[in-house]
Structure 1
Amino acid sequence: MKTKLTLDLESTLYQYCLDNDAYAVEEVSMPDDQGIVDTLSYKELAPGNIEWRCYELKVTKNDFHSTAKLSFVGHFNYFVLTPELYQEVQDEIPANVGVLTYRPYDAELAADAEYPPLAPGYLTIEKTARRRDLQVPEDELISAFIASMGREVNKAKRMATGIDQFSTEKLYKALKRRNQHYQIYDPEANLYDRFIDDMQSSAVTALQEEIDALNEDVFQLKLALKKARDAGA
């Protein structure tokens, strides 16, 4: 399960690639047991001249020292780190690998800005990567990139159809996963809490309407009973 910080890094890196006229996709499986690239970007410099960049996102020291294979197979290869983690591991980064560090925007300032930012933060180049030859055949890299883009398009199309396609059990599990990123100081950001509040508010409104209807029925019955007694007298 990805943490909120990892998701913010992904979102910011995606926008960073777009701003640099490159297309990017996450989690691209490499051929020949070369692992999975966290983010792979494609940029056409000229007809037939493509620049490939690989990015590995790390948010903790344990994550940085993970045994998972680093899939630095591109022309330029980068770590994307927090500034704090970069200070801890900078001496361990290979000479040819670059580093981008992530800093979040102030949430309140971003929300009040005339033109809100398209990503939760921004990236700073701490260390420039050195160009190298591709470590996999380019045609295989293109195939892997297209396959991952197809996967993302399929996910987007399924999202566009709404939640009707999902069972109640799947929706419940999704809510539980979303609640793992609980934000104490920003209740509005917690989907689970908002859902519960809305449900409770709807329930209270429905109960109040039912009580009002019952009170009206009681009033009419009392009125009818009084008329009947008056007529008998």
Structure 2
Amino acid sequence: MKTSLTTQMEETLYYFLRENGFIAIEEVTTPDEQGIVDTLGCRLDNKQQFEWRCYELKVSKADFRSSAKLSFIGHYNYFVLPEQLYISVKEEIPSHIGVLVYHPYISEDLPLSGFFITEKKPQRQLLQVNEDELLYHLISSQAREVGKAKQTARGLHTFSTKQVYKELKKPPTRI
């Protein structure tokens, strides 16, 4: 289950990417069993070539050091970390990986919960997977999200009784 901090960072990252001209999608399965990218960003560069950016969000030392596969397959790859975590793990971050540090806003009356500071720029690398396959996975992930949005817009009648009961049995999310 996602923490409130993770959700805040995801929402802020999505906005940040969209504001900077990227297509942004969360939880993209990558080709060649390279794992799942927390957030994938894609845009056309000045030469009309795709530029791919991968973002791995971590909110704790245990999360940062977990054995879960990191899907740094893009041209530019980043950790997205809260400030205190960055301070405690910055020596462990590979030199070619960038870092966006999340800072929450104090006021709750703002449209976003925080902002990012680029603490470390990534080094460009070759794309680690076939670009056509990655584009297909991005499109598939977008289609998944559109399907969810359409179900939500249509209301509960589009969900099976089993799905509704499953959601109702979940413990409430802490905010």
Greater relative contact order (CA < 8 Å, ≥ 6 in sequence): 2
Q: Distance in 2 between matches of 1:132 and 1:170?
A: 42
**Cα displacement string for residues 172-192 of structure 1 (whole angstroms, at most 9, x for unaligned residues):** 5435536131x4xxxxxxxxx
Higher helix share: 1
Q: CA deviation at 1:33?
A: 1.6
1:105 maps onto 2:105 in alignment:
yes
Higher strand share: 2
Q: Distance in 2 between matches of 1:131 and 1:47?
A: 16
Tell me which structure has the larger Cα radius of gyration. 1
TM-score by length of 1: 0.70
**Cα displacement string for residues 137-193 of structure 1 (whole angstroms, at most 9, x for unaligned residues):** 111111111111111111111111012334566445435536131x4xxxxxxxxxx
Gaps of 5+ in 1: 184-233
- Say if 1:25 and 1:178 are closer, same or farther in 2 by CA, change over 3 A: farther
Q: Secondary structure at the match of 1:32?
A: helix
1:162 maps onto 2:155 in alignment:
yes
RMSD (CA atoms): 1.7
1:148 maps onto 2:147 in alignment:
no
Q: Secondary structure at the match of 1:66?
A: coil
Q: Output aligned runs, 1:111-130, within 5 Å.
A: 111=109, 116-117=110-111, 119-130=112-123
Q: CA deviation at 1:24?
A: 0.5
Contact 2:31 2:130 in 1 (8 A): no
Which residue does the alignment assign to 1:26?
Answer: 26
Counterpart residue type for residue 150 of structure 1: A
Report the count of equivalent residues: 175
Gaps of 5+ in 2: none
TM-score by length of 2: 0.92
Q: Distance in 2 between matches of 1:165 and 1:178?
A: 23
Q: Distance in 1 between matches of 2:66 and 2:138?
A: 24
Q: Where has structure 1 moved over 6 Å in runs of 4 or more? A: none
